[in-house]
């Protein structure tokens, strides 16, 4: 979908970021995801700033990264040595962090600033594939540790004014995240429960024009058959709720393929 067809200057994307550093190690079970992420910058407008909600950062209050030059953390273990030499030297943006803080304050969302937080792999792994030059400022915002769907939809709603600017907001999670069911050899698995869940996400995100119905469906996401099979814990699902809260229109499915042997989806608003 070309940016000219979008109503706002900003763009919102939810995608699956894969397993740890494996996408950067040439892992064959991530081949389709890697191809998608390499091509994605050509399908959207180049942003001036990127905001990331990663599944790998939770706090008791939503927390805004405010460091000018965050480092990166190797928040995974048991991988080859090359995994611990990855660099992504992009800049942060304290000014944007303050603007976000004002939006949270205006919408009665408890927050705090963090000038020590480094980027986690839910941020720098996909961005290194998409924008390898690391020349766009990146700012992360945490999830709320309460894991409440309504909280995360409201976080997204509070940030809607940012869509007036040329900002890319990414929900970096995984639309299927059951670690016991992945196939690390990359054999694509037919999975009726996952297929139903992914199809339902597509329906909610891409065809539901009634915002009240969309929100109700996402608040009650656990009622979807297969929900807890696909997400025994919902931290990789919650970035989608932030994105859905941000969105003011129906989304477009931009990825529907296999990662680690399981079907996963991605959406653009």
CATH number where 57 lies: 3.40.830.10
Report how many domains make up the chain. Answer: 1
Average pLDDT (158-186) is 95
Torsion of CA 194, 196, 200, 206, to 10 degrees: 80
Q: For residue 244, give the 3-state DSSP assignment.
A: helix
Q: What percent of the chain has pLDDT over 70?
A: 97
Strand order in the sheet with 49-59: 111-114, 62-65, 138-144, 49-59, 167-173, 11-16, 262-268, 252-259
Buried b (16+ CB within 10 A) or exposed e, 32-63: bbbebbeebbeebeebebbbbbbbbbbbeebb
What are the tens digits of pLDDT across the range 131-140? 999 999 999 9
pLDDT at 5 over 50: no
pLDDT score for 2: 37
pLDDT score for 3: 39
Question: Domain range holding 34?
Answer: 3-268
Q: Report the predicted TM-score, pTM, of the whole model to 2 decimal places.
A: 0.94
Cα 86 off chain centre by: 20
pLDDT at 231 over 80: yes
Average pLDDT (239-248) is 96
pLDDT score for 8: 57
Rounded Cα–Cα distance for residues 150 and 147 (Å) = 9
pLDDT score for 186: 74
Q: What is the DSSP letter of 179?
A: G
């Amino acid at each position: 979908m070309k940016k000219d067809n979008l109503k706002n200057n900003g763009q919102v994307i939810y995608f699956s970021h894969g397993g740890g550093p494996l996408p950067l190690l040439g892992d064959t079970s991530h081949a389709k995801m890697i191809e998608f992420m390499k091509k994605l910058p050509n399908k959207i407008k180049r942003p001036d700033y990127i905001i990331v909600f990663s599944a790998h950062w939770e706090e008791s209050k939503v927390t805004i990264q405010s460091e000018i030059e965050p480092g990166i953390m190797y928040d995974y273990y048991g991988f080859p040595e090359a995994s611990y030499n990855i660099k992504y030297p992009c800049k942060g943006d304290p000014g944007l962090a303050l603007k976000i803080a004002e939006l949270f304050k205006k919408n009665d969302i408890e927050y705090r600033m963090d000038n020590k937080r480094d980027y986690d792999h839910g941020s720098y792994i996909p961005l290194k594939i998409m924008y390898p030059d690391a020349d766009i400022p990146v700012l992360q915002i945490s999830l709320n540790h309460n894991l409440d769907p309504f909280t995360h939809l409201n976080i997204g709603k509070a940030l809607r004014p940012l869509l007036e600017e040329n900002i890319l907001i990414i929900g970096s999670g995984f639309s299927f995240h059951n670690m016991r069911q992945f196939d690390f050899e990359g054999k694509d698995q037919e999975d009726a429960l996952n297929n139903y869940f992914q199809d339902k996400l597509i329906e909610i995100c891409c065809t539901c024009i009634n915002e009240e119905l969309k929100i109700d469906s996402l608040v009650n996401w656990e009622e979807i058959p297969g929900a807890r099979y696909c997400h025994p814990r919902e931290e990789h699902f919650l970035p989608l709720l932030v994105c859905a809260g941000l969105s003011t229109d129906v989304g477009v499915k931009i990825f529907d393929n296999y990662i680690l042997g399981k079907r996963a989806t991605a959406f653009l608003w």
